[in-house]
A and B are shown apart, each in its own frame.
Chain A
């Protein structure tokens, strides 16, 4: 089975790709529009340079070769939400080509190309079958990332997307909790013929759509029926793919160069752009540099890049063991609670507690309580009481279920029973990270 993806992500510019209209969401249709993004006769595009910068950043992250010159093309097709019936995109000489992106640091997924293009508007069908068109999105910049068919199965597709989107979000400084729609065209061939599932929204749906199409193709092959090359769409409610049309070939769009925009010489710009280490690369480096397992590294990085930085900082000053013990332990456990307090916590203060412990001024229990108290703002004695309460609860459960300890030695998933029990008993009183951390500590203490 071969799977290749064409993934569309929105670039976080403040204004649209070819005009100065804002890109933010708007409650009312056709508010953020001007002659250019409405395609009025006589209007013309002026490129927002930041779009090139973002495109180059993603191309670098995906280890693409960046072209010295890049230019735009016109792709012609008729659709009501396309204001010019022509989309400005890239065809020859996109920003980047021939990249490679490693899944979990191991499996290479080849990147065919990354190019930038404008989003069309959107169409809404009303109950009386009227179609309404909203051009607020018309001209919003997108990057399209095309992979080679190197993905082995639907689960891997989702894993790839999750990892890549996480890295892109960090790269472009898109807030982790911002709802940021990712759309994919998913190509899958179980036998020899390729089928495209157009416009799947979201990572979970991409996996589900691919799975559903995989099952369909397998059934077709078993029944000795021919799979036709076509474009299908995915209906998430019924979990099926539905035929839309026979696949268009690229030439049918009649691409020509976009004559209103010139050729962009981007070598110098590309050379001047340095990109930070991606979360995925940080996970790989932390685990190899400090000898911690990837799971721990992933937990640190996925919680926050700042947490991962703190880990490195503590490891440098106090050694890896203490960094794992404190940053991977109570600091990580109380991170979310700290974030909710929004800027009241000075991370460098946390190192003072660790130093007190390292100097033997406080016990590890005291240290954990100090950290929790400082990060959450809960009074130290209350924090101590809470922690004691949590520990008592877990110890009681372990006393009644001693097999968990021996199971855990074979497979650490056994801890889930304890975690599940505590969550049920206490509702939301403790953070899940704190429960997990305490449970593991107490189980391991019984070896």
Chain B
């Protein structure tokens, strides 16, 4: 497919898969060297940006996110803003204020979340790279469910300027693609220091030279609670790795079990302060009864336009920050984060990566998701959360398919700033793995 033919078919493709909330109306690529898309929580001047929330409906940012700006300057054309869980709050992209993306392998199934639209676009559109954002696993989860490669780099590797925050100490911008080689190419484009995001200023040099992965550690805690089919696909992938000359060891990482509660305390504490700015005054929806006192007006707007999951996380986060609880929950969670980091450091002293399946099951059906409680869906992230809490770079690669043909993914976690070893293993894996493309018809 040429770029022009993709652009002219874009609306039809989107009608089927619903990966974009906003998209370009251009049908010609012009001077562009390639096309790309970005998650709807990355600001772009030419398209509405809502972070999947109705409270930001109609918002047109006045500046481009640094990562979008950099790709545009490299010759990329932004074709759409991808659907996502509202502000990143979810595992299936079903908590969106707008359209819910459909899994390219089975339209009745979810794409995963919260970068579901990005994974869908990467899977469906040829030669396509989509920018995603991970807070607790939001790149690897949908990459796994949609059968594509996805990388979340070290925290601080990519400037977060222009990223609509979920949890600032956790958010990372990364890329999703069908091609492992594209991960490196695009990460190289967007990585680097940016004075507008102080947390990006401490990073060491971004390495891209090949560095073979010699050994992986599989934590016993990471292979509990898997579905049968994920377990068997993962085990057969371990055999493939061994045959590639990678040593596989089983290890204990007891801290991984505590990562989940610590993550939800930190993420929701930060999220509840980030979402405080959405009051219907400065951007997005501004209608409502202006004769009300300001707090009543703010409450009315927030009640009407935030989705249920956003409200739940605001309440959770406010609770964990409040009187008497701040010390018990928030401060404790900070300590746990350090324990998890130390646990990774310990294992990564003797191994190049920690490896486990990305998700404990393959993409679920929408009707099954609707039966899940909030806690059920939070629990689904237990394999992706620890690396996110630790800020370590992680990569999901497709590693098999279940009996319904749904993709299974596995996730490598490397030490801070060691993205190079992840790119290398992804490229080696790509050479021997038989990737299935979804059948795309319009």
Contacts and interface: CB of A to CB of B under 8 A. Distances in A.
A54 B171 CA distance: 32
A39 B278 CA distance: 10
B270 interface: yes
Contact of B198 (A43, A255, A261): A261
Interface in A1-59: 35, 38-47
Contacts of A43: 63, 161-162
Contact of B43 (A42, A45, A249): A42
A41 B199 contact: no
Contact of B282 (A83, A86, A131, A261): A83
Contacts of A260: 168, 197-199
Given A42-B161, A254-B318, A256-B321, A84 B276 contact: yes
B354 interface: no
A80 interface: yes
A81 to B, nearest CB: 10
A78 B275 CA distance: 11
B283 interface: yes
B167 A78 contact: no
In which size bucket is the chain A interface? Answer: 20 to 34
B384 to A, nearest CB: 20
B196 A259 contact: no
B270 A256 contact: yes
Interface string A68-108: 00000010101110011110000000000000000000000
A254 B195 contact: no
Contacts of B167: 259
A45 B161 CA distance: 10
A236 interface: no
A236 to B, nearest CB: 25
A68 B169 CA distance: 23
B238 interface: no
Interface stretch (B22-30, B54-62, B89-97, B139-147): B54-62
Given A41-B164, A78-B295, A259-B270, A252 B276 contact: no
B61 A40 contact: yes
Contacts of B164: 41-42
B282 A78 contact: no
A44 B161 contact: yes
A243 to B, nearest CB: 17
A85 B279 contact: yes
Give the secondary structure class of B's interface.
Answer: loop
Nearest to B197: A44
A252 to B, nearest CB: 6
B269 interface: yes
B206 interface: no
B363 interface: no
Contacts of B281: 80, 133
Interface in B28-49: 42-43, 49
A256 B268 CA distance: 11
B322 A254 contact: yes
B428 to A, nearest CB: 36
Interface in A225-280: 249, 251-252, 254-256, 259-262
A284 to B, nearest CB: 42
A405 to B, nearest CB: 67
A251 B61 CA distance: 34
A375 B326 CA distance: 64
A252 B209 CA distance: 51
Contacts of B65: 42
A78 B322 contact: no
Interface of B: 42-43, 49, 51, 56, 59, 61-63, 65, 160-165, 167-169, 195-199, 202, 269-270, 272-274, 276-277, 279, 281-283, 294-295, 298, 318, 321-324, 326, 330
Closest 9 CB pairs of A and B: A254-B321, A251-B323, A85-B276, A259-B168, A259-B169, A42-B43, A42-B162, A41-B164, A84-B277
Given A44-B196, A78-B294, A260-B198, 12 more contacts: A35-B63, A41-B61, A42-B43, A42-B63, A44-B161, A44-B197, A84-B276, A85-B277, A86-B277, A255-B326, A256-B269, A256-B273
10 contacts: A41-B59, A41-B61, A41-B283, A43-B162, A44-B160, A47-B198, A78-B294, A86-B277, A256-B321, A256-B326
Interface of A: 35, 38-47, 74, 76, 78-80, 83-86, 131, 133, 249, 251-252, 254-256, 259-262
